[in-house]
Amino acid sequence: MKARLLALLPFALAIAVYLVASHLRLAENPQDKILPGLGQMGEAVQRMAFAPDPQSGDYVLWKDTWASLKRIGIGVGTAAVLALLAGLNMGLRPWLKTVFGDFLTFLSMVPPLAILPILFISLGVDELAKVTLIFLGVFPVMARDMLLTVEKVPREQVTKAITLGASRWDVIYRIVMPQVIPRLVDNVRLALGAAWLFLIAAEAIAATEGLGYRIFLVRRYLSMDVILPYVAWIVVLGFVFDWSLRTFIKRWYGWYLVTK
Amino acid sequence: MKDKSSADAALHIEDLYKSYGPKLVLENVDLSTSPGTFCSVVGPSGCGKSTLFRMVLGEETPTRGLIHIEGERVTGPGTDRGIVYQRYSLYPHLTVLDNVALGRNLRTPLRERLRDRKVIRDEAMTYLKRVGLDQHAAKYPHELSGGMQQRVAIAQALITQPRLLMMDEPFGALDPETRESMQLFILELWEEYRMTIFFVTHDMEEAVYLGNRVLVLSQHYIDDRGPGVQRGSRFVADYELPSAVQSTKVKNSPAFLELVQEIRRVGFSPDQLRHVAEFNLRHPDSFQTLTGDERRS
């Protein structure tokens, strides 16, 4: 309990420093927008999340959240599934690794943001380009890690499975896959940070909704009262995902935490 | 030394060679085993025991020579062999019960598997009971001690009733007391099921205590090719022993200790070399094919 309280200390300190600085600035100029107080931010949240937008009638924060999560979900989800399949098949079918191994390494060296213009030009400015950016940003690293994980499964286990009657397909999907899934979930946890980066970059450049889009939109009006709650909201979302994935592993893959 | 046809033998190896690049590991290995034999293979470390094991398993291909199991040529790992390794025999993501049931589950098509779930479960439970671990059915392998894990691994291999049970230093990682109780346990199982066992170990006492046939694999021998020739390991001795299960006390009897000493002399000491024509191969199943170079008449 004491440790918990100590862990909260830096948070409390940061908030306190901000509030003092904000208070001092507002005391000097009540119109100041750079360091809004809690009241101003509360009003902004009320306006963005709990009241319909006067023009479109949307609840903007929820609409932005839904749009962003959909992009991240599809991008990271597709990357995870394909990374799993790529890792399993390249790890257990040597000829596939021979063919695609170097290409995968090459792909992982390409800085995704550098090819963002290419994506916008070739895929249009709609959802596909944004999702593709997230996918390209997280897939190669995940796939390479899954490959290494699959290769680390002792060869003895594969031979043993065959003597127990396993087919090639059984070995891949019934013996090895269940063993590497928790590692895949760990990979998703790590990839989410990068995914947010690519999402916000893509949304900042071309979008009509989304958390990143909103932040870059209101920046023009120096609306720190909107930006700060949005950033906090992104942090909360990230934390919730990480926590749920960790809990998922703990609940279903207890052996993984002990033996890894 | 009679010539046995390979079809009758549980395991038949003839003129087997294995080299890695320029290094010759196994040379002209011959072996034939009657069904139901507990064959223990012993030899100094680095003699190629594990290489031989992996070739019988089908994980590696011989450079030359053939291996047959009940007349069928070995071309890869197959369901006629059951394996127990020193480690890695159990799947960490499956419960103890599911580990044992795996051999059944993998061989049953999905629809039947769903229908017969309870039957398979009960069968796995029977085997688990036989190895004395039915109380631990719901645990995961990492929750068991080393000895218990090996018991589960044995049950896992036995459920498919393999024609040949292969074990590579299965008790090598256990403490001496557990090791001894596991030795007694595997002998009991052997007496019950009478399967052919191919048991590889570097421990001479273990080999002599367990096997009713002890084969010594070694690179320490000479032949007519003279000095300076690179020689691979082969069986330098082959003993027939009583097959009754004896208490572990027999390990202190003079006859037992003498045999261990003899194995040490013929297999483990580089300065007392025997000629290929003078190997002790008096086991009734034993045979040896020598090339003209090795034995000039």
Chain B: give the shortest CA distance to residue A144, in Å. Answer: 22
B82–A contact, CB cutoff 8 A: yes
A154–B contact, CB cutoff 8 A: yes
B52–A contact, CB cutoff 8 A: no
Which residues in chain B are closer than 8 Å to A156, comparing Cβ atoms? 83, 85, 87-89
B35–A contact, CB cutoff 8 A: no
Q: What is the mean pLDDT of the segment spanning B136-154?
A: 93
Task: Supply the pLDDT for residue B140.
Answer: 94
At B7-38, the pLDDT tens digits run: 678 899 988 999 898 888 898 898 999 899 99
pTM to 2 decimal places: 0.86
Q: How far apart are CA B140 and CA B121, in angstroms?
A: 16
Token look-up 């286990």 returns: A157
Which residues in chain A are closer than 8 Å to B107, comparing Cβ atoms? 164-165
Q: CB count, 10 Å around CB of B226?
A: 8
Bridge partners (DSSP) listed for residue B33: B11
What residues contact B235, with CB distance under 8 A and at least 6 apart? B29, B30, B31, B215, B216, B217, B279, B281, B288
Task: Supply the pLDDT for residue A95.
Answer: 94
Task: Supply the pLDDT for residue B3.
Answer: 43
At A75-129, the pLDDT tens digits run: 999 999 999 999 999 999 999 999 999 999 999 999 999 999 999 999 988 899 9
At A93-107, the pLDDT tens digits run: 999 999 999 999 999
Global ipTM: 0.86
* A56 pLDDT higher than 90: no
How does the average pLDDT of chain A come out, rounded?
A: 92
CATH for A52-259, options being 3.40.50.360, 1.10.10.10, 1.10.3720.10, 3.40.50.300? 1.10.3720.10
Alpha-carbon distances, residue A193 vs A11, A112, A189, A200, B63 (angstroms): 20, 14, 8, 11, 52
* A11 pLDDT higher than 70: yes
At A245-258, the pLDDT tens digits run: 999 999 999 889 88
Q: How far apart are CA B206 and CA A5, in angstroms?
A: 59
Residue B155: closest C-alpha in chain A: A164
User: Domain boundaries in chain A?
Assistant: 52-259
Which residues in chain B are closer than 8 Å to A157, comparing Cβ atoms? 88, 91
* B2 pLDDT higher than 60: no
Residue A167: closest C-alpha in chain B: B106
Instruction: Note whether A84 and A146 are within 8 A (CB).
Output: yes
Of A157, A164, A178, the CB nearest to B160: A164
Token look-up 């935490």 returns: A257
Task: Supply the pLDDT for residue B244.
Answer: 74
Chain A: give the shortest CA distance to residue B236, in Å. Answer: 29
Chain B: give the shortest CA distance to residue A171, in Å. Answer: 10
A174–B contact, CB cutoff 8 A: yes
Q: What is the mean pLDDT of the segment spanning B74-82?
A: 90
Where is average pLDDT lowest: B32-46, B97-111, B277-291? B277-291
Task: Supply the pLDDT for residue A66.
Answer: 96
Closest CA to A209 of A29, A22, A53: A53
- In chain B, the largest separation of any two C-alpha atoms, in whole Å, equals 67
Which residues in chain B are closer than 8 Å to A179, comparing Cβ atoms? 91-93
Chain B: give the shortest CA distance to residue A15, in Å. Answer: 44
